[in-house]
Amino acid sequence: VAAAPNSQANPLIRKLESITDLTPEERQALLALPMRVHDVRADQDIVREGDRPSQCCLLLEGFAARFKFTDKGKRQIFAFHTPGDIPDMLSLQLKTMDHSLGTLTPCKLGFIQHDHMRELLRQHPGLTDVFWRDTLIDAAIFREWILGLGRRDAKTRVAHLFCEMVMRLRAVGLEQGNTVPLPLTQNEVSDALGLSTVHVNRTLQALRGENLVEWDKGVLTVLDWKGLKLTGEFEPTYLHQDREHLAA
């Protein structure tokens, strides 16, 4: 089944089709989903902890992150988001945000009213399963991060993060050769991996020294995918990018 003309250009559809199959009707309905598109500059909060949003936001271009601060003012990043993600889809079910969402780079965002989203799901109940599945994969990624934070050392964590980002960016067509965009600062990585910026810097030097990766000007180049997977203990099952779940 060929995709609708512009569906490959639509990162949401691209993303959902990386984890499930959509019917033509579902694809059509997603393309017709009303949204207000805005450009937002880097380092802006989109929703904050405590907010009660009446819309959710589709990331069309750029990188975003979800995060929260400790009482002592330390930041922890929970997730990096890439085009096609709806990072605050959960606000449809959970009224109060328990964490914040912000841009890391300039972003193009599509804001979707909850009412419109609910109407979409009412008319296409199959999409509820799709989005439910997507939030479950989100949770699987959280678990993998828990494993890393709890039981893996710095080098393994960094390598694992790189592998994960490559796989996810590949799934939405942002990989070019052995290269993906990864416009994060070392400080942002450290806040995601529970490390200090200094230590992340030194760990990167180690990975570079072993000729596993190159990471410069927001572009990550994988020099040795096998080696990177090995040092990152990366096993992509948890991303559930296969679609074999459809075979009963």
Partner DNA sequence: CGCCTATTTGATCTGATTCAAACAATGTGG
Partner DNA sequence: CCACATTGTTTGAATCAGATCAAATAGGCG
Q: Does 138 bind a second copy (CB under 8 A)?
A: yes
Q: Write b or e for each residue in 87-103: b if 16 or more Cβ atoms lie within 10 A of its Cβ, otherwise e.
A: bbbbbbeeeebebbbbb
Neighbours of 157 (CB within 10 A): 24
Q: Which is nearer to DNA, 20 or 203 (CB)?
A: 203
> d(Cα 23, Cα 204) in Å, to the nearest integer?
43
Residue 187, classed as helix, strand or coil, is helix
Give me the least distance between CB of 174 and a second copy, in Å please: 24
Residue 150 contacts a second copy per CB under 8 A: yes
Using the rule CB under 8 A, which residue among 37, 139, 198, 219 binds a second copy?
Answer: 139
Work out whether 211 is an interface residue with DNA (CB under 7 A): no
By CB under 7 A, the residues from 77 to 136 that bind DNA are: none
Per CB under 7 A, 204 contacts DNA = yes
Asked if residues 188 and 77 have their Cβ atoms less than 8 Å apart, the reply is yes
Identify whether the C-beta of residue 8 lies closer than 8 Å to the C-beta of residue 83.
no
The option from a second copy, DNA, none interacting with 136 (CB < 5 to 8 A, set by class) reads: a second copy
Residues 178, 170: Cα–Cα separation, whole Å: 10
The binding track of 95-134 with respect to a second copy, each residue x by CB under 8 A or -, is xx-xx-------------------------x--xx--xx-
Cα–Cα distance, 128 to 246 (Å, whole number):
15
How many residues are there in the chain? 248
Residue 48's alpha-carbon distances to 79, 87, 96, 98, 105, in angstroms, are 15, 12, 10, 8, 17
Going residue by residue from 166 to 205, which x/- string records binding to a second copy, judged by CB under 8 A? -------------------------xxxx-----------
Using CB under 8 A, list all residues that contact a second copy: 50, 66, 68, 70-72, 74-76, 78, 90, 93-96, 98-99, 125, 128-129, 132-133, 135-140, 142-147, 149-152, 191-194, 233, 237-238, 240, 242, 244-245
Interface residues toward DNA, by CB under 7 A: 153-155, 185-187, 190, 194-199, 201-202, 204-205, 217
